[in-house]
Amino acid sequence: MNIPSGFRFSTAQCGFKRPGRADLALVVSDAPAAAAGVFTTNRFQAAPVLVAREILAASPAGIRALVVNSGQANACTGQEGIDKCRATLELLGALGLKPAEILPASTGVIGDQLKMDLWELGVPSLRDNLGRVGLVDVARAVMTTDTFPKIAAREVALGSGTVRLAGFCKGAGMICPNMATMLGFILCDAGVDPAWWQAALKRCVDRSFNAITVDGDTSTNDCVLALANGAAAPAAGADLEILEEALLEICQDLAYMIVQDAEGGTRVMRVNVSGAASMADAQLAARAVGNSPLVKTALYGRDPNWGRIVAALGRSGASFTPEAVVVRIAGLTIFRQGTPVKADWDSLLASALRRDTVDIDIELGAGGAELTLLASDFTEEYIKINAEYRT
């Protein structure tokens, strides 16, 4: 895998939740990088979200590092949690980093205070391992209920030279599009204007991480952070469009992996809404279907139950005339003009509903807005994982 130039990685085993696995990750840019971030819209914002937003606002062009821990979310921990988050950044002074140039992120159980004694024990390992581990290692260190590390990379040719982008993320549960329900990190060795980088990241997030759902829950810790350090070549003018397309592809690749790895999930549902009166209506319709426990369990059971789909549409709040709606499953029209299309759908769709990805196309007939949302099915395993999450 082609890794962007000028970045080094490190991990440490701290035992935040359980011993024997790396649960602290560090990414260091050799030069100050342009930084961008999008953060959860949950009103209960975790301490690392509050601290990262503050640091990013103060120094969008001077960020050197990302530090991420799993096992403890440091959310709903009050001023003590904020103070401890800042203290973890002070500890990284042992690696020559200043708190004002580090963006923190955390994931894990909500409500627990950070175990500072374990942080203090872990920092020497971060220092010793810096540059000795790779992108896959840091992607593993941020996992919680994920079953595989999620990584994507691109190499693109600009007029000024070749640049590389790489991203990693974690997320399998507590996933619902309302910013970027998960932790995501993008690294790039192009030189960019920080304001453009922030705007480009927001646009890409809206078309990727903001268009996925597993269970309808938006986390307290969501963030996507992106660094561009300029180690390879500057990007400006027409090159920016090429660079943003590569950024979008990485975000979409990672977003798909999150739904693919949904807690207990067995398949991905691609909800394609077209003909909506507005983008807001397209979102309402897609999310109503993608978040419906009845639709999701039908997908798991390979049941072509169109009634659950149209019922979700009907309560979505989107504006449309019922008689104008058309619903297709795996490309076959199953509902139109307010009534089902008569056929032996159990037989006709049996093979399609066994696929890893199933398309549900919905035409609302009310306008020109369209949206694609990725969602997972619901299984018994999802309940088991979340019933036992703290134990």
pLDDT tens, 331-367? 999 999 999 999 999 999 999 999 999 999 999 999 9
Q: Would the pLDDT of 287 be above 60?
A: yes
Residue 286 · residue 371 · CB < 8 Å: yes
Kindly state the average pLDDT of the residues 132-138.
Answer: 97
Average pLDDT in the chain: 93
pLDDT for the residue 215: 72
Residues in contact with 297: Cβ distance below 8 Å, sequence separation at least 6, in sequence order:
377, 378
Share of the chain above pLDDT 70, in %: 96
Share of the chain above pLDDT 90, in %: 81
Q: Would the pLDDT of 181 be above 80?
A: no
Q: How confident is the model at residue 369 (pLDDT cuts 50, 70, 90)?
A: very high
Kindly state the average pLDDT of the residues 150-154.
Answer: 97
Residue 341 · residue 334 · CB < 8 Å: yes
Q: Would the pLDDT of 170 be above 70?
A: yes
pLDDT for the residue 172: 66
Kindly state the average pLDDT of the residues 209-228.
Answer: 84
pLDDT for the residue 168: 96
Q: Write out the DSSP string of 2-62.
A: -PPTTEEEEEE---SSSSSS--EEEEEEEEEEEEEEEE---SS--HHHHHHHHHHHH-TT-
pLDDT for the residue 263: 78
pLDDT tens, 38-84? 998 888 899 999 999 999 999 999 999 999 999 999 999 999 999 99
pLDDT for the residue 176: 57
Measured CA to CA, the distance from residue 211 to residue 205 in angstroms comes to 8
**Which member of 88, 181, 218, 379 is catalytic?**
181
**103 phi/psi in degrees, rounded to 5:** -105, 125
Q: Would the pLDDT of 179 be above 60?
A: no
pLDDT tens, 103-119? 999 998 889 899 999 99
Residue 226 · residue 36 · CB < 8 Å: yes
Q: How confident is the model at residue 2 (pLDDT cuts 50, 70, 90)?
A: confident
Enter the pTM of the model.
0.88
Q: How confident is the model at residue 265 (pLDDT cuts 50, 70, 90)?
A: confident
pLDDT for the residue 305: 94
Measured CA to CA, the distance from residue 345 to residue 328 in angstroms comes to 11
Residues 313-330: b if buried by 16+ CB within 10 A, e if exposed: beebebebeeeebbbbbb
Q: Would the pLDDT of 378 be above 80?
A: yes
Is 181 a catalytic site residue?
A: yes
Distances (CA, A) of 224 to 77, 168, 379: 21, 10, 28
Q: Would the pLDDT of 180 be above 60?
A: no
Kindly state the average pLDDT of the residues 294-305.
Answer: 94
Q: How confident is the model at residue 217 (pLDDT cuts 50, 70, 90)?
A: low
Please choose, from the candidates 175, 245, 260, 157, the residue with its C-alpha nearest in 3D space to the C-alpha of residue 212: 175
Q: Is 234 helix (H, G, I), strand (E, B) or coil?
A: strand
